[in-house]
Structure 1
Amino acid sequence: MRTSKANTPRTFTDLGADECWRLVGVHGVGRVVFAGATYTRVVPTTYDAIHGTAYFRAPTFGELARRADGHEVLLCVDNVDRHDLTGWSVEMTGTAHRVEDAATVATLWSLGRPQSWFPGLQTQWIALPVAQVRGQRVSDHRYRRGSTHSGTISDGHPVASDGRRLTVWENEGGQVRELPYRG
Structure 2
Amino acid sequence: MAQLHEIDESECWDLLKSHSVSRVAWAGSDGPVVLPLNYVVHDGALWLRTSAHSTLSQEVDDAPVAILVDEFDAETQVGWSVQVRGTAQMHYKEESVPDEVQKLRTWAAGARPLWISVTPTALNGRRLAED
The TM-score, its normalising length taken from structure 2, stands at 0.91
Stretches of structure 2 that go unaligned for 5 or more consecutive residues are none
Task: Describe the shift of the 1:59–1:100 C-alpha distance in structure 2 as closer, same or farther (beyond 3 A).
Answer: closer
Asked if 2 retains the 8 angstrom alpha-carbon contact of 1:33 and 1:75, the reply is yes
Task: Describe the shift of the 1:121–1:102 C-alpha distance in structure 2 as closer, same or farther (beyond 3 A).
Answer: closer
Identical pairs, percent: 27
Task: Describe the shift of the 1:123–1:101 C-alpha distance in structure 2 as closer, same or farther (beyond 3 A).
Answer: closer
CA distances 1:13-69 after superposition (whole Å, capped 9, x unpaired): 001111101101111111000111121000001100112100000111211011111
Match of 1:72 in 2: 64
**Structure 2 residue identity aligned to 1:56:** L
Asked if 2 retains the 8 angstrom alpha-carbon contact of 1:20 and 1:134, the reply is yes
Task: Describe the shift of the 1:130–1:38 C-alpha distance in structure 2 as closer, same or farther (beyond 3 A).
Answer: same
Stretches of structure 1 that go unaligned for 5 or more consecutive residues are 1-8, 142-183
**Structure 1 residue identity aligned to 2:110:** G
Match of 2:30 in 1: 38
Task: Describe the shift of the 1:117–1:96 C-alpha distance in structure 2 as closer, same or farther (beyond 3 A).
Answer: same
Match of 1:90 in 2: 82
Corresponding residue pairs, total? 130
Asked if 2 retains the 8 angstrom alpha-carbon contact of 1:58 and 1:118, the reply is no
Structure with larger Rg? 1
Q: Which has the higher contact order (CA 8 A, sep 6+)?
A: 2
> Aligned partners of 1:128, 1:118: CA distance in 2, in Å?
21
The TM-score, its normalising length taken from structure 1, stands at 0.66
Q: Post-superposition shift, 1:103? A: 3.7
> Aligned partners of 2:98, 2:16: CA distance in 1, in Å?
23
Q: Secondary structure at the match of 1:61?
A: coil
Q: Secondary structure at the match of 1:130?
A: strand
Match of 2:45 in 1: 53
> Comparing both structures, which one devotes a greater share of its residues to strand?
2
**Structure 2 residue identity aligned to 1:128:** V
Moved over 6 A (4+): none
Q: Post-superposition shift, 1:98? A: 0.6
Match of 2:15 in 1: 23
RMSD of aligned alpha carbons: 1.6
Q: Secondary structure at the match of 1:60?
A: coil
**Structure 1 residue identity aligned to 2:65:** V
